[in-house]
A and B are shown apart, each in its own frame.
Chain A
Amino acid sequence: MSDFLSAVVESWPLFFEAAGRTLALSAVALLLGLPLGALVAAASMSRVRPLRWFATAYIGLVRGTPLITQIFILYFGLTIVLLLPGFWAASIALAFHNSAYIAEILRSGFQSVPVGLDEASRSLGMSWWQTLRRVRGPLAFRTALPSLGNQFIIAVKDSSLAAFVTVDELFQVALRATASSYEPLTYYIIVALYYLAIVLILTLVVNRLEHALSKHRRS
């Protein structure tokens, strides 16, 4: 046990820095993935049929192929046209990958808003945009938030695949520490604890937000 603790303490600087990179990967993935997912969700609910086709194809394609494949296509596959650094190949692939799931989450959020509320808003003279901003958007977001939080957690853990395109994130550091120490159990448990800590903090933030946005369901 004391060996384990000293390994934790000694590896701290390396893992700490790597945790920052894991967070950066996840942040880029979500900051790009959210708006992209919103666009795809909008396309999937559009009245324009080709847009709906596009959304269906996009979601099918992105969800239907492994994330590691998508990362490798961006990192190794595009070298003839474009040399992406590992960080960007991984984070952009993560963004695409998550956008497909986020699109489905947002679509079901919007579909959960009763038509009557849209009608009530439009009957007050509110425009389509005003209704989206004031009524449909906020209500859809409230419904989608738990699933979005779930997806964010998956994104953080999936960012570990960036290790395979040379990014010095948490899992990469664990791989290297294992290779040099021949103590896989120690370092894989340590890295698991780092992921766990990040996910717990993220869960806390999402729960807080959920609580703040559900005032209307409490007295």
Chain B
Amino acid sequence: MSAIVSMQQVTKRFGPLTVLDAVDLEVQQGEVVVLIGPSGAGKSTLLRCVNGLEGIDGGTITVDGQQLVQKGRELNSLRRRIGMVFQQFNLFPHLRVIDNITMAQRDVLGRSREEAEARARELLARVGLSEKEHAYPERLSGGQQQRVAIARALAMDPVLMLFDEPTSALDPELVGEVLQVMRDLAEEGMTMVVVTHEMRFARQVADRVVLMADGGIAEQGTPEQVLEHPTSERGRAFLAELGGQG
């Protein structure tokens, strides 16, 4: 196994606040890592540092063998190999579903319209939204929008997928359809880092659960270790607070 993501001593500050404090984390190829922890622990920030949406103040991040730089062409070329799925979906509202998925394929990867559309249709079928090809995002439910967003990210053939609370903005009845797509993706061997509050997803799909607190990793291990038998005080406190929600 080789590391897709390797973070060493990564530090991130927002003004006087240290959000990430010398974090070390490796993600192996094909691994599904779920980040959990109380809000403000630094989970989303850590995820956003991995594709350079947040610059870092110390340490190094290597993705797919290439060290992350803070800007420029190298960052763009690395980003296209990292899929990102946001809490708020962030579909382009002025583009139809199909164009949402083909835009970057054509502009960044230089694929022809035919190639890009073929790939988009293949992915739409995979997330169960073939019939929505010509719809505008506004006409879709939150769950459908998030599935399109996943398809959009997958269209770039990423080596790594990042999910930043992908179901937190969804009505409860729409969470399942998005988690199912993610579950399928995990089964196909996609390397994934997921920030989520869905403990059941963590338990069933994660290879490793990383519990963050106060800008650091409180503990990590298999879902069973971390979720059933936490050893750290922070871990026990966090899980007690969840109160068996999962």
Contacts and interface: CB of A to CB of B under 8 A. Distances in A.
A126 to B, nearest CB: 6
B94 A114 contact: no
Contacts of B153: 123-124
Contact of B86 (A119, A213, A216, A217): A119
Interface in B132-151: 136-139, 149
Given A119-B86, A216-B137, A126 B108 contact: yes
Given A125-B76, A127-B76, A217-B138, A120 B107 contact: no
Interface in A116-159: 116-117, 119-127, 130, 134-135, 138-139, 142
A208 interface: no
A34 B153 CA distance: 36
A122 to B, nearest CB: 7
B224 to A, nearest CB: 33
Interface residues of B, number: 32
A117 B138 CA distance: 14
Interface in B146-169: 149, 152-153, 156
Contact of B92 (A120, A127, A213): A120
A130 B107 contact: yes
A43 to B, nearest CB: 21
A114 B90 CA distance: 9
Contacts of B139: 219
Interface string B89-110: 0111111100000011001100
A125 B53 contact: no
A123 B107 contact: no
A124 B86 contact: no
A120 B84 contact: yes
A98 to B, nearest CB: 26
B79 interface: yes
Which of A120, A122, A126, A130 has its CB near the most chain B CB atoms (within 10 A)? A120
Interface string B31-58: 0000000000000000000010100000
Interface residues of A, number: 23
B134 to A, nearest CB: 11
Nearest to A218: B136
Contacts of B53: 119, 122-123
Contact of B104 (A117, A119, A126, A219): A126
Interface of B: 51, 53, 73, 76-77, 79-84, 86, 88, 90-96, 103-104, 107-108, 136-139, 149, 152-153, 156
Given A120-B90, A121-B104, A126-B76, 18 more contacts: A114-B88, A119-B53, A120-B92, A122-B53, A123-B84, A124-B80, A124-B103, A124-B152, A125-B76, A125-B77, A125-B79, A125-B81, A126-B108, A130-B107, A138-B94, A142-B94, A216-B93, A216-B136
What 7 A-B pairs have minimum CB-CB distances, sorted nearest first? A125-B80, A124-B104, A120-B90, A123-B84, A216-B136, A116-B90, A125-B108
Interface of A: 114, 116-117, 119-127, 130, 134-135, 138-139, 142, 213, 215-217, 219
9 contacts: A117-B92, A119-B53, A120-B84, A120-B149, A122-B79, A125-B81, A126-B103, A127-B73, A135-B92
